Chains A and B, each alone.
Chain A
Amino acid sequence: MATTASFIIVSRNDIPIYEAEVGSATKREDAAQLHQFVLHAALDIVQDLAWTTSAMFLKNIDRFNDLVVSVYVTAGHTRLMLLHDSRNDDGIKSFFQEVHELYIKVNFLQLGCSVHVLVFHLSIVEKN
């Protein structure tokens, strides 16, 4: 099943650390820019919502046409944001948790280094 999905990691200072298109569907040329725009527009909503709950996984916080934004916030306010069109909450939650673990491991290598490890992992995201 072809899915569109776009994933970014944003640090606590609102600096994008990592971006990737992880869906399996074929992309239009401007789709990447549109996805990036939608994800960044959702940052304000995440900001407000993050203070109302102590959970890490905030489910669908925003939608655009048929695409939905889901967010996972860590204690250090690093936001893992996924733009997708599927509805598999549990799969997405476990995806976020695996990315969180990988992020912590990569973090120890060097703050801000390129995340080849994550790129490899995200090829597994078709389970969404």
Chain B
Amino acid sequence: MGREVSESCIDSLLTEMVSSYCNRFYANKPELAARRIEAIGYQVGHQLSERYTMERPRFSDHLEAIKFICKDFWSELFKKQIDNLKTNHRGTFVLQDNRFRWLARMSAESKAAQAMSMYLYFPCGIIRGALSNLGIPCAVSADISNLPACEYPESYVLCVVMHACSLCSNGHCHGQL
């Protein structure tokens, strides 16, 4: 819809959000902090999906909605599309992003892996919110791996796994992390 935000502001906001929830609001309770951050992401994703689907025709099936997430939604949020999409045709989709933008400026120390995972809850929540607004209740989890031999040596590969819940068709699905 035309208006943009500076990227460093987004980076700062995300860093501060994780830091506040992990160190101040829910200190010593990382599961609660994670749930809260994921819930914030859910609400954001819900509203963003309404905004980004406004100019285009509606979706005729679930695959169209997922392709929208991989292409248009991802490029609105992260300025690029998903690099790889895999499915087992039974409701599980794996989205792979070879250069996840929101982690691009984080260091690659191995002992920070647990701290790194806290930064993934917000994007997972966004994806879950967007999909549930488009009619696909699902559980979203993310994983990162650092591939030193690949052509982007300092980047993170983000693999997002989505399980579409056929049992939760009333829309009340608990996002699993």
| A residues apposed to B, CB below 8 Å | 12-13, 50-51, 53-56, 73-78, 100-101, 103-104, 107-108, 111
Contact = CB atoms under 8 A, between A and B. Distances in A.
B57 A54 contact: yes
Contact of A75 (B1, B47, B53, B171): B53
Contacts of A51: 60
Contact of B57 (A55, A100, A108): A55
A12 to B, nearest CB: 7
Given A55-B57, A56-B58, A104-B50, A75 B134 contact: yes
8 A-B pairs closest in CB distance: A75-B53, A54-B57, A76-B133, A54-B58, A75-B58, A104-B51, A107-B47, A76-B50
A37 B54 CA distance: 29
Contacts, number: 52
B76 to A, nearest CB: 14
Nearest to A54: B57
Contacts of A55: 57-58
Given A76-B133, A77-B135, A111-B43, A101 B49 contact: no
A78 B135 contact: no
A73 B46 CA distance: 16
- Chain B CB within 10 A, most for which of A13, A78, A104: A104
B32 to A, nearest CB: 22
Between A73, A76, A77, A104, the greatest number of chain B beta carbons within 10 A of the residue's beta carbon is seen for A76
A74 B54 CA distance: 7
A74 B47 CA distance: 12
A53 B59 CA distance: 9
B2 to A, nearest CB: 11
Given A76-B50, A76-B134, A104-B51, A56 B57 contact: yes
Nearest to A77: B135
Nearest to B57: A54
Nearest to A76: B133
